[in-house]
A and B are shown apart, each in its own frame.
Chain A
Amino acid sequence: EADIYQTPRYLVIGTGKKITLECSQTMGHDKMYWYQQDPGMELHLIHYSYGVNSTEKGDLSSESTVSRIRTEHFPLTLESARPSHTSQYLCASSPHGGFNSPLHFGNGTRLTVT
């Protein structure tokens, strides 16, 4: 049962549009993450947050931005979508860092930029 929700599930949008991918979790987790997933490839961390007002860039260069104003909400924004942004975006949360702190993933947003 998913306690982390991503909307929309699918999005097709034209080049140059601004988009926001929503992610909310009801578990009270401090840590939240955005990953990019392409078929046959490893997950790449694009942003993470250790709590309210904390955001960091991950290991994959991204033109997106994130905000963490509330514990439960971690939206990702693309100011100007491009075809290279076409991918699946996964949001995740965890209660704390370290061993035995699994990531809880949402079901993803599949973005297509035409």
Chain B
Amino acid sequence: QQQVKQSPQSLIVQKGGISIINCAYENTAFDYFPWYQQFPGKGPALLIAIRPDVSEKKEGRFTISFNKSAKQFSLHIMDSQPGDSATYFCAASNSNYQLIWGAGTKLIIKP
């Protein structure tokens, strides 16, 4: 119940395309869903986050879509650029504000 399942494990997208990463969870008590971006040799950094009371949040080219009934949320990267190549982690926060992490998606944007 504490797991967050992330897919795909790796993703290759052409420059200018849309990158989509999906996550699913079981615990309905989760109430905060962030996405982190990690470049090689660096720690993860917060990219965008959402609460379950909204179905979508957009920041620039990055959008989180949230489906509470399906217990799924996804990250969409529009007009993907080579600089977006990184590993992306979804996570969910429990009532103690501890993050439960997905296994990560390695995204490669081909020029």
Contact A103 B99 (CB under 8 A): yes
Contact B45 A101 (CB under 8 A): no
Contact B98 A45 (CB under 8 A): yes
Select A107's contact among B32, B43, B46, B102, beta carbons within 8 Å.
B43
Q: Is A92 an interface residue (CB 8 A)?
A: yes
Task: Kindly supply a per-residue 1/0 record for chain A positions 21-53, scoring 1 wherever the CB is within 8 Å of any chain B CB and 0 otherwise.
Answer: 000000000000000000011111100100000
Chain B interface mostly helix, strand, loop or mixed? loop
Select A99's contact among B49, B101, B104, beta carbons within 8 Å.
B49
Contact B45 A105 (CB under 8 A): yes
**Interface size grouping (class) on chain B:** 20 to 34
Instruction: Kindly state the separation between the CA atoms of A52 and B32 in the bound complex, as whole angstroms.
Output: 26
Contact B44 A99 (CB under 8 A): no
Q: A99-B32, A99-B51 are in contact. Are A42 and B104 (CB under 8 A)?
A: yes
Select B43's contact among A48, A101, A105, beta carbons within 8 Å.
A105
Instruction: Kindly state the separation between the CA atoms of A23 and B6 in the bound complex, as whole angstroms.
Output: 29
- State which residues 55-114 of A face B: CB under 8 Å: 58-59, 90, 92, 97-108
Q: Measured between C-beta atoms, what is the minimum distance from B42 to chain A in Å?
A: 5
Chain B residues with CB under 8 Å of chain A are: 2, 4, 6, 9, 31-32, 34, 36, 41-46, 49, 51, 89, 93, 96-104
A-B contact pairs, 10 of them (CB 8 A): A41-B104, A42-B101, A43-B99, A58-B98, A59-B98, A90-B43, A90-B44, A92-B43, A103-B46, A105-B42
